[in-house]
Amino acid sequence: MMGFLTKVWTALRGVGHETEGVFIDAQGIRILEQEVRDAKEAQVDAKESLTDVMAEQLKMERQVDLTRKNLAEYDQAIRKLLAQNNEALATETAEKIAEIEVDLETEEMVLTSYNEQITDLKVTILESDKQIKALEREISIVKSTEAAQKAAELTAKRFSGSNSSLQSASDSLQRIKERQQKRKDKMLSARQLLKETSGTDLQDKLITAGVIHNKANGQSILERYKAAENKTT
């Protein structure tokens, strides 16, 4: 794992200088992604190994339990033989107990070793998983930054220079706006000229000045009817 991390951080340091700072190049990203894939494959092997060790641990636990039960049976037997003063058989039984105790000690040592291996493997696998996930996040960030910076650089290049395609499009858009404004101004001028030649422009000015009233004014019509009503009464 340390060798893997050394390669990864070495690749991370292999960066090139660009606008807005330093970021990893495409080759470096490919190296990182390959290292992560290799690490994941190693994790699969490690988990398979852990499964194998755990299976051996369970097997040894059953063996230890069996040996302890066997030892307990001989322990009861020798106690009964001693109570019966059967010295010869008790001596033979004691020798068997000695053999079983040696076997039990060996089995318990093996079981302890399995337990320690399982604990170490679980810790290693857990830490490796964390490191792999952290590197995957870093790769994602680096790739996103790379893409964003390339997009910004491309945009800047396209906008730079009077002959660029985007600049040309922008100029065309401005010309269209200018033509539309000119057309609008012409239509306004035409309407103004029509008013002046038809006399409506002068009439509007007189109405605004309060000198004459607008014939279409509802208030003036109402006043006219009121005046007529007053005359009849």
Residue 89 neighbours by CB under 8 Å, 6+ apart: 81
Buried b (16+ CB within 10 A) or exposed e, 10-39: ebbeeeeeeeeeebbeeebbebbeebbeeb
Positive or negative, the CA dihedral 85, 91, 93, 97 is positive
Domain-wise residue ranges, the chain = 2-161, 183-232
Task: Please give the pLDDT value at position 18.
Answer: 44
pLDDT digits (tens, 9 = 90+) for 201-215: 666 666 666 665 555
pLDDT digits (tens, 9 = 90+) for 74-97: 999 999 999 999 999 999 999 999
CA dist 213 and 92 (Å) reads: 142
φ and ψ of 85, to 5 deg: 60, 30
CA dist 19 and 17 (Å) reads: 7
Q: Which of 93, 103, 114 is nearest to 65 (CA)?
A: 103
Residue 192 neighbours by CB under 8 Å, 6+ apart: 201
Q: What is the pTM of this model?
A: 0.51
Structure tokens at 233: 């009464």
Strand partners, 24: 15
Task: Please give the pLDDT value at position 20.
Answer: 38
Class of domain 2-161: mainly alpha
pLDDT digits (tens, 9 = 90+) for 125-152: 999 898 888 888 888 888 888 778 788 8
Classify the phi-psi angles of 214: left when phi > 0, otherwise alpha if psi is within -120 to 50, otherwise beta. Answer: beta
pLDDT digits (tens, 9 = 90+) for 152-199: 877 777 666 545 566 676 777 788 888 888 888 788 777 676 666 655
pLDDT digits (tens, 9 = 90+) for 40-77: 888 888 899 999 999 999 999 999 999 999 999 999 99
CA dist 9 and 12 (Å) reads: 5
pLDDT digits (tens, 9 = 90+) for 22-39: 444 667 778 888 888 888
Q: Which helix (H) or strand (E) holds 164?
A: none
